[in-house]
Structure 1
Amino acid sequence: MPETPMSWKQGGCHCGAVRLEVLAPDEIEAYECTCSICRKSGYLHLIVAKERFRLLAGEDRLITYSFNTGTAQHHFCSVCGVKSFYVPRSKPDGYSVNVRCLDEGEVAVARIAIFDGKHWEQAMATRGPL
């Protein structure tokens, strides 16, 4: 099966203080998680390996929030409050980029899969990592 071509896509927070890029195909499958923080913030996940993520600007503007197990590191822009990426509990050696924070036109979302984050342990046992 041929490998899907990928290129670097850019994005960031609302005010522009935090800028990032992610290596991704032009058309992606994104994940909508039903856990409390993702549901309340409307986060749409693109999970990538660490080497497919680059923080371009704003490291000094990030604040981090963690709860429950403390594994997930939710990084927010301290200026505008937007979470454009974070270190997810399901992939602590990678990143989740908020698809909604990628610059307009960078990717097309072909499919949105639902992840039952409300019942995280059961979902991981059944489905495995995103």
Structure 2
Amino acid sequence: MMKTYRGSCHCKAVTFEVDIDLAGGTGRCNCSICMKTRNWNAIVKPAAFRLRCWPEDVAEYSFGTGVGKYKFCKVCGVHSFSTGNIPEIGGDFVSVRVNCLDDVPEDELAAAPVNFADGRNDNWRESPKFTCHL
């Protein structure tokens, strides 16, 4: 069921609202940045995401092809979402870190299905061989 959640970084300088159906699935990946930041995300269309802080409070990091724009707080450094455009997944997207959702009940979070992607090998539709560390 689609629900609206509020989210933030650790110090609350970066805040947002997002409409997500967590029962529709979340994701974990083994690509270089997801491994380093232990990313657990849910992907939504940009219209489902609303930044509720000053844009100046959000820093951005990009690497490689520059497709993904990884957003983080300038104060506490927490990565709370990213943006990008990948035609294979439907074009423009916002990837929200579900662990940054402030008002999601723990039982809903625990029940959210997790889909794994082998981003390390650009094999996005397949799970990596090992997932327990993701």
Return the TM-score normalized by structure 2.
0.80
Where structure 1 has 5 or more consecutive residues not aligned to the other structure, the ranges are none
Partners of 1:36 and 1:95 in 2: CA distance = 19
Give the aligned partner of residue 101 of structure 2: 102
3-state SS of 2:77 partner: coil
Structure with higher strand content:
1
Report deviation, 1:51: 0.7
Give the aligned partner of residue 118 of structure 2: 116
Report deviation, 1:24: 1.3
Report deviation, 1:60: 1.1
Alignment of 1:66 with 2:62, yes or no, is: yes
- Where has structure 1 moved over 2 Å in runs of 4 or more? 25-28, 88-92, 104-110
Return the TM-score normalized by structure 1.
0.82
CA RMSD for the aligned pairs? Answer: 2.0
Which of residues 11, 24, 34 in structure 1 aligns to 2:7? 11
Which of residues 18, 21, 24 in structure 2 aligns to 1:25? 21
Give the fraction of aligned pairs with identical amino acids, expressed as a percent. Answer: 37
Deviations 1:2-32 (A, max 9, x none): xxx3121111101000001110125342100
The number of residue pairs the alignment matches comes to 120
Where structure 2 has 5 or more consecutive residues not aligned to the other structure, the ranges are 127-134
Contact 2:14 2:52 in 1 (8 A): yes
